[in-house]
Structure 1
């Protein structure tokens, strides 16, 4: 347990110190600086860290490809659950924690911000244990439901046993990162993600493929390398916060649990969790539908889905940077500024992700040739990318607005936009199955669903009211 450190009372023989200046008078670029330059300044460390994450995606998929087509198909089965863990811990519940801390700091309440950080850690540990229990108990039937059979299923279960056996680790890492992001510190968590990415590539490759005296552990080794890397990053960030070097300070003594603190985080974080949950459920349904077309199509889609993850992580970098800016603006009562931040972040994400998506749609070999030379897998990946990659821009827009809405504690609209996408894929997929549609028809369905998501997310933000009553919208 942890206890929040509070300012010490001055000794009786010393005159009382003047109270610290309020947030309104203290220079704070997140509250008073120009929006676009400040947003980009906060986003660039995230971009660098997520570029390292891109290297992980490329390297991991490349050496899993060396394990064979079955291993690639196994990773495609497991990928939705790994993404659910990372997005729910980092983007959803982590976003709720970062937003709550930012709003407290925007109102110049550092004691509350520190208390929120302690409660966020407890929430992260609890959810990590829950993920471990669910995946170890129900991993096999879930993977079978997705179409996993034979050697593909065995390798997928190998990965699940190790990665989700340590399911608390990614939750701890992402929660600690969210605490720092909520204070406006993007550099340290980004540096630790960068460090973890390098370790993940090295350790995952060595343990997965084997090197020298190290035997080849296959998918178990890939998962173990990830957990070791994440544990190292979490340990450094925990030390930084507990040692008093962050803007808020925690002490390992005994935290007084407060319902209002949990509510402040969960009113955003719990609702936000439905977004990655629905996103992963969309991928699960889509993966199940594609499994009927064989391992080659499934593996080709998996290669394309990894590109989607890589490109939308750029939107993640911008969106996460907007959370403390929007949160502090809302906490300070500056609602109009908060809205301008959200739309600026959305425009940046849409443009950047869209440009990369169009480039890969035109030249898919730039991506596909990194992972496979199987002509069947290559053909499937080309078809998917040409249909879906240009639409990644809409996912980037939706993701950025989702994070900005967390800062404003108004995340329901973007979550419902994700619900609409899920229903669109489920109903459209059912119709295509009944009509005997081929794999290409399903790829077009996926592309259309991305546009649905982006448009509805933008509408939800435009129509929702931010801030308390009486504040200008």
Structure 2
């Protein structure tokens, strides 16, 4: 299969890879926050890893309620960029910051005060419950900084500037690498804080990244100029953001809630299985980064081409993205299949049963990584065209109609036991990829209207 047949398609592929490369690197660095936490907390034992593993899906659920709106702002900026309307690029950027700032405050307060009931609902008990609540409360405080940085990152991606956010992430991850053991284990007058120390280190570095992002956009030399006079409520603009962003919020929330429900299944099999799931889920979050990078790059290019009324170029981007995601992630899956056991052991040395279960989880998932890539990049096409409802429906199919029911059925009604949860992943990836690709080829996304709002 050829990746391109014409020089135009070759140029499109080059543009896609130039955009996706820095995005992939930035996402790898962001995931490094969780991997660094897992590495250091793994030295505290299975309970510490289990506490973070239980907290993470719920944290992502709350974060996703606002992050979808960030994507909505990015889509609007990309389409205005394609229209060559710089004033609306700047205005949309300011409005996205304005709206997400207040949403982040509300979600930070919500997360902090309902942390314990949430952890109890998903099955945390005893020492794991105490540590999970501590980690969750501190992480909730960081929502404000995290959201502001995500706004900065998404807006820069919308205009095709993907290098600057990567530098910002790199600097903060390096800082987090040193702060993590300092806060977890203590040093000098600083007392050891365990799992809450890992969250504290992340909050501090997230605050720094948010500040850097705001200063960069206030400078106006990198494609976006924030005007403080634009930081006021605009009902018409907010409606447009909601039209595009709410399906994205629901899509991310649906995905996060699906992961949370899977955790409730896992907790029924004990802390060893929870820790195994946590390691496998961390590896999955790392592996999916290339697909998410390609998806984000696809969203940017499709959004700009749709804004410029070049639908055929947008279609080329989608086809090329599918090919790169499928073949690239299939190779990654093969490699991870071969090194699953030593990779798991790296994070939880000496935990024999956790290593065995986590390695099996990775081996079962790995062959379907290419299919997962197809689903993600096609969602990127839908998002770039403003057809965010399609991404929501694909996620509902994958997680709620297929993965969770199948995981429950296999783990509770067959001899597979908790291994049945692992097998639900490749099956749902296969069906969702087929569904998404067929919908993409139908071409409904090509008929979506472009953004249109005044300030």
Q: TM-score, normalised by structure 2?
A: 0.91
Alignment match, 2:437: 458
Mapped to 2, the partners of 1:261 and 1:470 lie a distance apart of: 15
Give the alignment of 1:265-304 within 5 angstroms.
Answer: 265-304=241-280
Mapped to 2, the partners of 1:404 and 1:86 lie a distance apart of: 23
Cα distance per residue 1:128-185 (max 9 Å; x no partner)? 1232132223222221121100100100101111110232111111011111111111
Choose between structure 1 and 2: higher helix proportion. Answer: 2
Say yes or no: does 1:439 pair with 2:418. yes
Give secondary structure in 1 for the equivalent of 2:229. Answer: coil
Alignment match, 1:9: none
Mapped to 1, the partners of 2:354 and 2:446 lie a distance apart of: 49
Shift of 1:330: 0.3
Alignment match, 2:35: 58
Say yes or no: does 1:252 pair with 2:255. no
Shift of 1:96: 1.5
Cα distance per residue 1:21-78 (max 9 Å; x no partner)? xxxxxxxxxx998111011111221222233335434322110111211111101101
Alignment match, 1:391: 368
Give secondary structure in 1 for the equivalent of 2:220. Answer: coil
Shift of 1:301: 0.8
Alignment match, 1:402: 379
Shift of 1:436: 5.0
Shift of 1:467: 4.0
Unaligned runs of 5+ in 1: 1-30
Q: TM-score, normalised by structure 1?
A: 0.87
Alignment match, 2:97: 121
- Provide the aligned C-alpha RMSD in A: 2.2
Mapped to 2, the partners of 1:349 and 1:469 lie a distance apart of: 25
- Which of the residues 286, 293, 297 maps onto 1:310? 286
Indicate conservation of the 8 Å contact 1:88/1:94, yes or no: no
Alignment match, 2:70: 94
Indicate conservation of the 8 Å contact 1:95/1:320, yes or no: no
Cα distance per residue 1:90-117 (max 9 Å; x no partner)? 5x32222111101011112111111111
Give the alignment of 1:76-225 within 5 angstroms.
Answer: 76-84=53-61, 92-225=68-201
Indicate conservation of the 8 Å contact 1:242/1:250, yes or no: yes
Mapped to 2, the partners of 1:140 and 1:237 lie a distance apart of: 32
Shift of 1:468: 4.7
Give the alignment of 1:225-244 within 5 angstroms.
Answer: 225-244=201-220
Mapped to 1, the partners of 2:315 and 2:406 lie a distance apart of: 34
Mapped to 2, the partners of 1:443 and 1:256 lie a distance apart of: 48
Q: Which has the larger radius of gyration?
A: 1
Mapped to 2, the partners of 1:391 and 1:433 lie a distance apart of: 20
Say yes or no: does 1:427 pair with 2:427. no
Alignment match, 2:3: none
Mapped to 2, the partners of 1:32 and 1:240 lie a distance apart of: 33
The farther-off stretch of 267-276 and 449-458 is 449-458
Shift of 1:379: 1.4
Mapped to 1, the partners of 2:448 and 2:37 lie a distance apart of: 49
Give secondary structure in 2 for the equivalent of 1:369. Answer: helix
> Cα–Cα, structure 1 residues 88 and 392, in superposed 2: closer, same or farther, change >3 Å?
farther
Shift of 1:466: 3.1
Indicate conservation of the 8 Å contact 2:277/2:361, yes or no: yes
Unaligned runs of 5+ in 2: 1-7, 451-455
Cα distance per residue 1:217-239 (max 9 Å; x no partner)? 11111111111111111111111
Cα distance per residue 1:295-350 (max 9 Å; x no partner)? 11110011000011001111111211222211110011111111111221232222
